[in-house]
A and B are shown apart, each in its own frame.
Chain A
Amino acid sequence: MKLTSPEELEQLRTSILDAIDPDKLSITICSGTGCLACGCEALVRAFEKELKEKEIDKKVDIKTTGCHGFCERGPITVIRPKGIFYQKVEPEDVEEIISKTIISNRIVERLLYVDPATGKQITYEKDVPFYALQTRLILGSNGFINPENMDDYFAIGGYSALSRALFQMKPEQVITEVINSKLRGRGGGGFPTGWKWDSCRSAESEDGTRYVICNADEGDPGAYMDRSVLEGNPHSILEGMTIGAYAVGSNIGFIYVRNEYPLAVKNVNAAISRARSYGLLGQNILGSGFDFDIEVSRGGGAFVCGESTALMASLEGRVGRPRAKYVHTVQKGLHDKPSNLNNVETWANVPLIINKGAQWYSKIGTEGSKGTKIFSLVGKINNTGLVEVPMGMTLREIIYDIGGGIPGNKEFKAVQTGGPSGGCIPEHLMDLPVDFDELTKVGSMMGSGGMIVMDEDTCMVDVARYFLSFLKDESCGKCIPCTEGIKRMLEILDSICKGQGKEGDIEFLEEISQSIMNSALCALGTTAPNPVLSTIKYFRDEYEAHIRDKTCSAGVCKDLFEYFIDDELCTGCGRCRKECPTNAISGDKKEPHNIDMKECMKCGACFSLCRFNAVRKGSVEGVRS
């Protein structure tokens, strides 16, 4: 059915809302990539089967939705309208949920979330601290939408912002609204979105062609919020892009998405064809006379393609190498035409701003950074998942109040933000309000929103080496400072981690860093030294210990520690002996075991396996003495 006017859209919405029975029970099952990996498909089938068997399949809806964000507790099931929150649900639990909760309105207590801080069971989704402390403007919709069912998006007011923009606003007014909202690009740079649109609209184009592009090449390791939005609520991106296209005067858009995100590719493609069938993409959208369509382009798996000029080169079918930006892409971008590129999350904010107004939006957040930001809170953290908070919340609130702190009573060491271009922030800066400017001040950056928590078992020199080795592989090879500089820095870090570091290495790393920052071609290069510089700044003692004492206190750098068995704790159970791939462990049953250092290859299997914490790590010297 093609919608040919805003009235028809509203009529459709009314008919969808009228058909919804607010009291009808609905079982919502998260089917994002995280929960899929935990086997939620089998769970959905089990629910369907059980409802049929009990002959109540007409009375209860099953809704598969995008990511709810609390990935640590997947598969997640929410029973609406009450919002009963069950976590880690297995197909074996289905019968009980149906017979107790669905049929007799009782709670299955063993599936409830227990707040580790208070030890109390929590029944309702809205009361789970992980959710309660967030402001889920964008992610919140994920839990109510089946991405394959467009009616769900209409039901929450979908495409009303587009209709408003097309029929009640001039393109310039849309741009002014976005400028006034002070929305900044969520891809990492933090450039004011409205001003970018303005430059693109006023850029000269001989034949009038302009492009809008959605950057969904989410390459930062440890960040997956864009994937979740694309998978769970693809229409919000399409709507945002269409509004942006109307504002800058473009008729064709591209979504450049990683091929490693198959579900996102599938859901976005399906959403595009559905939007076309409703006349919300294509010619004469909603009868407004405005034409716009979107193509999906799958990336080839190159980190550098997240950089705008490289992405555009890739869209043209070429290798993704950045170019110098003497001429901005808003003037000459894709095929040398004015091109406006924004990140997934930025586009998702646009319908909100148009619907609720710049004034409302600019009240959220800090002076320089407005709105909310989605972070992927991962690594050594209890509540792994996606969290959406107003700009300006402190790291401590995010990590401890929402994230539930560090598992296993370990000590917090650092949090890494901004992906390979960012830095590591230490404990004493935990009260830092998180926004674009504050993070930059402490030597890190916002990036796309990865927040990787590290504990005492993480070696900061190894982390710096990890990022450099990542960047060395991903450097496109065009400019010398990045290609060669990163390689040389990595060699130095490698030697430090192997115990071959020497005095002056730290200073040399700093010197090369400065050269790269001053002379690399694109942002990938100029920010590449950040992980090294920030770890030197805050964890210099660890570098020095590696270089001078040849020790790695975290027990990560293989050449700088050895495994040994604590005689007093070892029960002689023999698990480690059986598991050791090189047969380096010997010992009689029920007698303390021993590791032969000559045979040990330090794979760590015994260490992670031992239930009595009898396998220990120590510095080479310490063990021998």
Chain B
Amino acid sequence: MQLTSQIPLDEVDNIVDSYDADKQYLIQILQDITSEYNYLPEQCLRRVSKRLDVPLSEVLEVATFYKAFSLKPRGKHLIHVCLGTACHVRGVPQILDRIERTLNIKAGQTSDDLMFTLETVNCVGACALGPVIVIDGQYHGQMTQTKVTKLLEKYTSARRGKDETDKS
């Protein structure tokens, strides 16, 4: 994990400059920082606040209001579980439950080894495929508990493999 003190802020400056340091683009700037760093590191927010001349409290208000932002580092793999109505009536609660138990994290949490972040999303608009989960931008439709377990195994076995090499 990258320590906050080591984060180079040049990229933040570039992002801010690409919006002419105009504060009406604060949300777009935070979106771009999130895609760059995977979350919103404190130092970046301080820099944005300074560059846009917006109080840090306001930057934080925005950063905590919108679902797209996280103040904590997110995992290598981002899992989005669609909680749309169509997915709900087709049984996504059980799927989410299974993912939570398999990865041992709750929705909204990141695993300790920073491999997985589990998030819920209101609707990804792929209702025909419900229940849908999206892993790192890839859609996986018509999930069942069995299918989701197999799917996650691909990622967790890679994780276990890594642990073993770490130990040796």
Interface of A with B (CB < 8 Å)?
A: 33-34, 36-38, 71-72, 74, 218-224, 227-228, 259-262, 297-303, 314-320, 335, 376, 378-380, 384-385, 416, 419, 450, 452, 454, 458, 463, 466-467, 470, 474, 476, 579, 581, 603-605, 608-609
Contact = CB atoms under 8 A, between A and B. Distances in A.
Given A224-B126, A301-B68, A376-B127, A452 B27 contact: no
Given A221-B83, A262-B137, A466 B68 contact: no
B69 interface: yes
Given A470-B83, A581-B101, A74 B94 contact: no
B31 A300 contact: yes
Contacts of A74: 128
Contacts of A218: 125
A225 B102 CA distance: 34
B156 to A, nearest CB: 15
Contacts of B83: 221, 470
Contact of A317 (B23, B98, B125): B23
A609 B146 contact: yes
Q: Which of B30, B62, B90, B125 has the most CB of A within 10 A?
A: B125
B168 to A, nearest CB: 31
Contacts of A605: 94, 98, 145-146
B162 interface: no
A38 B62 CA distance: 35
A581 B85 CA distance: 26
B97 interface: yes
B86 interface: yes
A378 B127 contact: yes
Interface of A is mostly: mixed
A315 B125 contact: no
Contacts of B61: 319
B91 A224 contact: no
A259 B68 contact: yes
Given A36-B139, A222-B127, A579 B94 contact: no
Contacts of B84: 221-222
B75 interface: no
Contacts of B141: 37-38
A603 B146 contact: no
B31 A384 contact: no
Given A300-B69, A379-B86, A579 B145 contact: yes
Interface string B19-40: 0000111111011000000000
Q: How large is the interface on B (under 10, 10 to 19, 20 to 34, 35 or more residues)?
A: 35 or more
Given A221-B83, A221-B86, A318-B58, 13 more contacts: A33-B124, A71-B127, A260-B125, A301-B68, A316-B24, A318-B26, A378-B127, A379-B127, A452-B89, A581-B101, A603-B145, A605-B98, A608-B145
A317 B27 contact: yes
A37 B140 CA distance: 7
Contact of A300 (B27, B54, B125, B132): B27
Contacts of B31: 259, 298, 300
Q: Which of B62, B67, B84 has the most CB of A within 10 A?
A: B84
B122 A378 contact: no
A87 to B, nearest CB: 12
Contact of B26 (A72, A317, A609): A317
Interface in B77-124: 83-86, 88-91, 94, 97-98, 101, 121-124
A458 B126 contact: no
B49 interface: no
B129 A71 contact: yes
Contacts of B30: 300
Contacts of A302: 65-67
Interface of B: 23-28, 30-31, 54, 58, 61-62, 65-69, 83-86, 88-91, 94, 97-98, 101, 121-130, 132, 137, 139-141, 144-146
A89 to B, nearest CB: 15
Given A221-B85, A297-B27, A604-B91, A378 B130 contact: yes
Nearest to B67: A301
Contacts of B90: 379-380
A300 B145 contact: no
B125 A33 contact: yes
B119 to A, nearest CB: 10
22 contacts: A34-B126, A37-B132, A221-B122, A221-B123, A260-B123, A261-B125, A297-B28, A298-B31, A300-B66, A314-B27, A317-B54, A317-B62, A318-B58, A320-B66, A376-B127, A378-B85, A380-B89, A384-B86, A452-B85, A454-B89, A470-B122, A604-B145
A306 to B, nearest CB: 11
Contacts of A314: 27
B146 A579 contact: yes
Contacts of B86: 221-222, 378-379, 384, 452
Contacts of B23: 317
A548 B139 CA distance: 42
Nearest to A305: B66
A37 B145 contact: no
A216 B94 CA distance: 30
Nearest to A416: B85
B66 A224 contact: no
Nearest to A227: B125
B137 A222 contact: no
Contacts of A463: 88-89
A300 B68 contact: yes
B60 to A, nearest CB: 10
Contact of B123 (A38, A71, A223): A223
A36 B121 CA distance: 19
A38 B127 contact: no
A298 B27 CA distance: 8
B139 A466 contact: no
Contacts of A300: 27, 30-31, 62, 65-69
Sorted from nearest, which 7 A-B pairs have the closest CB atoms? A300-B66, A224-B125, A71-B128, A37-B139, A301-B67, A317-B26, A378-B127
Given A300-B67, A301-B67, A224 B123 contact: yes
Q: Which of A259, A320, A380 has the most CB of B within 10 A?
A: A259
B129 A38 contact: yes
A37 B65 CA distance: 30
A260 B66 contact: no
Contacts of B94: 603-605, 608
A572 B88 CA distance: 31
A579 B98 CA distance: 12
A301 B24 CA distance: 17
A603 B85 contact: no
A463 B123 CA distance: 16
Given A316-B24, A452-B89, A260 B121 contact: yes
B59 to A, nearest CB: 10
Nearest to A301: B67
A259 B124 CA distance: 10
B85 A450 contact: yes
B123 A220 contact: yes
A419 B122 CA distance: 11
A478 to B, nearest CB: 11
Contacts of A223: 123, 125
